[in-house]
Amino acid sequence: DAMVIQNPRYQVTQFGKPVTLSCSQTLNHNVMYWYQQKSSQAPKLLFHYYDKDFNNEADTPDNFQSRRPNTSFCFLDIRSPGLGDAAMYLCATSREAGAYEQYFGPGTRLTVT
């Protein structure tokens, strides 16, 4: 089945220790998104890519970076995680930019100790 895959599902990292989250998709969609979602809050868009064209949201902290080496894969790097970065990180795709539904991966739950 075509899908969005995120690894790992659960990640524990230490305060200040860099961590990378990964996402892959078999949907062949052009657009990929990274969201941060904290409990009972709206998903917050961190980055999105149209193909390899990178778009950084204005209020995404510099501590977060992203890479999309090819159509299928996207990575989220957190350079120096703080306690406030503990959250669910959701990867999503859409066929094109515009009014298309987004398909979400299962998410990575990040814990910072």
Partner 1 sequence: GQNIDQPTEMTATEGAIVQINCTYQTSGFNGLFWYQQHAGEAPTFLSYNVLDGLEEKGRFSSFLSRSKGYSYLLLKELQMKDSASYLCAAMDSNYQLIWGAGTKLIIKP
- Nearest approach, Cβ of residue 106 and partner 1 (Å): 5
Q: Which is nearer to partner 1, 76 or 90 (CB)?
A: 90
Q: Which is nearer to partner 1, 19 or 31 (CB)?
A: 31
Which chain residues interact with partner 1 by CB under 8 A?
A: 40-45, 88, 90, 92, 97-99, 101-107, 109
- Nearest approach, Cβ of residue 4 and partner 1 (Å): 8
CA 82/CA 18 separation, integer angstroms: 10
Q: Which is nearer to partner 1, 3 or 80 (CB)?
A: 3
